[in-house]
Amino acid sequence: MGLVTLVTMSVLISYTVVSREADTQGDSRRQKEAFFAAEAGLAEGREALRLRLGDRQTYSNVLGSLGGPVNEPGLAGASPPWYEVLRGPSADGWNYLRLTPETMTAAELSSADGEAYADYPAQSNVRYRVFVRDDLDDPNGSSDSNGQVWVIAVGEVLNAGGRPTRAIVQALVTNENAPAAGGPGCVNRGCGPDSTFNNTTDQRPPDTSFVRTF
């Protein structure tokens, strides 16, 4: 009986260790998936903001075009307010990174030898959302005056056995649209009012003793 009890306890301990190791590896994999989903959302959100910005110098019009601040538990009444950049088509507002045969090419559905896959991960439990908020450059969080905003992306992996695994990444985005300057002649390059570089207002008139021709 003692030997049977010892073997049984050894088996149970081994099972517990293996089960915990599997859970740890699963958590690590889901954390990476959530992080990559958030990174993908951040890149897509930055591009969406760039397209909305156009040739403007600040993001005030962009914030005003996003349909008002997010009014959800945890974000409602935030100061500065949060705006959703990429609201998903589903009712919950999430963007899902699903893989379906209808959206995949024949090469993606088969191996390099042309053998069709019997099954593949549908990735139906990976999703993300993208938000933007002002960077507190002034007291008004609904407008931007310095051309900088924070973009926040949230990635999640749903888990049937518990709460979802979540990763959040953010980046301070700076508008790089430079104000355009124009003027007649060569004034923008420093020449005088007569559109030449040889006049009384020049500090160092050009040396005309040697002229290079092309």
Query: Is 70 exceeded by the pLDDT of residue 202?
Result: no
Residue 69 burial (CB < 10 Å; 0-12/13-18/19+)? buried
Consecutive H or E run containing 147 = none
**Annotated domain spans of the chain:** 1-174
Q: How much is the pLDDT for 136?
A: 85
Q: What is the pLDDT of residue 131?
A: 96
Q: Write the DSSP symbol of residue 165.
A: E
Q: What is the pLDDT of residues 37-82, one digit of tens each?
A: 999 999 999 999 999 998 888 999 999 999 899 998 888 888 899 9
Q: Report the pLDDT value the prediction gives residue 103, as an integer from 0 to 100.
A: 78
The predicted-structure confidence for 119-145, as pLDDT tens digits, reads as follows: 777 778 899 999 999 998 888 888 898
More confident residue, 4 or 59: 59
Q: What pLDDT, in 10s, does the model give residues 181-193?
A: 555 555 555 566 5
**CB within 8 A of 152, min separation 6: which ones?**
82, 130, 131, 132, 133, 168, 169, 170
Phi-psi sector, 70: left (phi>0), alpha (psi -120 to 50), beta:
beta
Q: What is the mean pLDDT of the chain?
A: 80
Reading the block at residue 75, the tokens are: 């974000």
